[in-house]
Amino acid sequence: MKLGGILPEDAPDPGVELAGSLKLMPIPVMGLMPQPALEDWDAVGLSYSGGDGGYSEMTASITYTLWRNPDDRADPVNLADLDETTRRSIEEVPPWPRPPWLIEYLQRLRYPQLWEAVRTTWHRVPSERSSVQNLLADHVNHILMNQYREELWPGGNPRDQHPPAVTGRMVNDQARTVINGINVPGAEVDTDPFVYGIGAQLPGGGVVTAVLPRTELKHVTVQFTTRS
């Protein structure tokens, strides 16, 4: 969520519109199975392309709040490691009233977010580009580029372009995963030091992928379910 300027106290919550936009997806939007460590707070994203003839492809992404100790949310282990800029944005209270949803959003930043952890991707016309292997590689590279840039390219210019860390040929297509309780063929990226990725073809068309930080895998059961 990108915010700028001074918002009036009654400014509408953009998250409501984003959550509603998922209805545009021609196939069900997937998420990780409900579990105590994950909070789905309708942090959604939707990208699409097409023309006068309608959409040619769409991708929905879901972000989660991670609770390392869900039984005690006040436990300091649940706090995120924040940089100084983020910490100030949370702690500094401006002299004007803010929308309640913005205050809630800023407070949520105190806790680790599994950013765009799950993607559901649909293509009107299947192709090699829309294969599980290529879409999983794209998802992994997207997370690495946006969340691990400093680890991968220390001191680099944020605007620098880098070759993808993972290609479709590097994806293991002999993996298995679980969708709505059914064990199905899948594909995975289990070689990257920072993230683990897994995905599968959906029975009704489209592909689901998940990319998660390796440091948090012990807290998460990586199984998919249709998101309500």
pLDDT digit string, tens, across residues 31-87: 999 999 999 999 999 998 986 678 899 999 999 999 999 999 999 999 999 988 888
Each residue's pLDDT tens digit, 171-217 = 999 999 999 999 999 999 999 999 999 999 999 899 999 999 999 99
Tens digit of pLDDT for each residue in 47-59?
989 866 788 999 9
Under a CB-based contact definition with an 8 Å cutoff, are residues 162 and 172 in contact? no
Task: Give the mean model confidence (pLDDT) for residues 13-32.
Answer: 86
CB 69 within 8 A of CB 97: no
Comparing CA positions, the residue from 26, 30, 31 lying closest to residue 58 is: 26
Q: What number is the average pLDDT over the span 122-137?
A: 94
Dihedral pair phi/psi, residue 179, rounded to 5° = -125, 120
Q: Is the pTM of this model over 0.75?
A: yes
- Name the residue among 108, 192, 188 with its Cα closest to residue 148: 192
Helix (H, G, I), strand (E, B) or coil at 96: coil
| Half-sphere CA count of 221, side-chain side, radius 13 A | 11
